């Protein structure tokens, strides 16, 4: 039941933050030409479990002709696994996203006050600083468009920012709540201040706030091929399934 509620929430939110939702039969185009560098807001979501890789690629080419990238979003885990080999052979990057829900007491706790809610300006500044350290961070327009994306999520859900330490953030995350559930998202730590528990403190503060408000489930998405999943397990989150994203970039482009 939790996974179904999470997917339903993701679908509603995806549609609320884009410029245009365009039904395409076996897929839905989620289009934001006003923010073309934000790949998350320019994608094709697969709706038909019987759709094949070739027809989905053709659909994506047409729907995203305004953008330099191509992106497919698949919420059906079995379909994503079936599409992965063919799309990978065709040069697409395959991202398996773990859906993790908070279902137990964390194995580690942060000191009281190590992380807490901060105002939007502080949270936005911390996230922008983190994003500038990413491979795409040289492109200031991309950083600004991602900040604009954050504002859209803030209008579509109740959005709050958390940071650690609150007075001089080394790490930050966002908490989105709607319809009784909560998502912890956009977790990032400045490179020079990693390994000190700051991300843990920010995430724990966000999750504790959601729990105090009765949100259930409290979830996050994280790359199944990367190490943060193990941190989140120590913070009380467990995987309940996967979502898939397929991304194809122009030669020489790095993922934001």
Chain-centre distance for alpha carbon 101: 14
Q: Is the pLDDT of residue 148 over 90?
A: yes
Domain layout of the chain by residue ranges: 2-97+244-248, 116-241
6 is written with which tokens?
Answer: 């999470």
Q: Tens digit of pLDDT for each residue in 211-245?
A: 999 999 999 999 999 999 999 999 999 999 999 99
Q: Tens digit of pLDDT for each residue in 60-105?
A: 999 999 999 999 999 999 999 999 999 999 999 999 999 999 999 9
Across all residues in the chain, what is the average pLDDT? 93
Q: Does domain 116-241 have CATH number 3.40.630.30?
A: yes
The mean pLDDT of 245-252, rounded to a whole number, is: 81
Asked whether 176 and 159 are in contact (CB, 8 A), the reply is: yes
At residue 193 the predicted structure's pLDDT band, cuts being 50, 70 and 90, is confident
The mean pLDDT of 22-50, rounded to a whole number, is: 95
Q: Is the pLDDT of residue 252 over 50?
A: no
- pTM for the whole structure: 0.93
């Amino acid at each position: 039941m939790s996974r179904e509620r999470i997917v339903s929430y993701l679908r509603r939110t995806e549609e609320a933050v884009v410029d245009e939702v365009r039904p395409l039969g076996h897929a839905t185009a989620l289009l934001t030409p006003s923010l073309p560098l934000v790949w998350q807001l320019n994608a094709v979501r697969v709706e038909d479990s019987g759709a094949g890789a070739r027809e989905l690629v053709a659909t994506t080419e047409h729907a995203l002709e305004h953008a330099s990238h191509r992106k497919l979003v698949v919420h059906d885990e079995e379909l994503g696994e079936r599409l992965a080999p063919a799309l990978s052979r065709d040069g697409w990057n395959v991202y398996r996203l773990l859906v993790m829900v908070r279902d137990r007491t964390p194995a580690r706790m942060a000191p009281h006050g190590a992380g807490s809610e901060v105002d939007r300006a502080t949270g936005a500044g911390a996230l922008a600083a983190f994003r500038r350290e990413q491979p795409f961070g040289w492109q200031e327009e991309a950083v600004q468009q991602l900040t604009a994306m954050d504002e859209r999520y803030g209008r579509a859900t109740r959005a709050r920012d958390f940071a650690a330490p609150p007075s001089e953030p080394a790490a930050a995350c966002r908490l989105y709540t709607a319809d009784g559930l909560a998502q912890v998202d956009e977790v990032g730590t400045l490179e020079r201040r990693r390994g000190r528990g700051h991300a843990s403190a920010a995430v724990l503060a966000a999750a504790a706030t959601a729990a105090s408000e009765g949100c259930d489930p409290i979830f996050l998405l994280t790359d199944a091929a990367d190490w943060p999943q193990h941190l989140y397990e120590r913070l009380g989150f467990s995987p309940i399934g996967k979502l898939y994203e397929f991304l194809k970039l122009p030669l020489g482009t790095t993922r934001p």
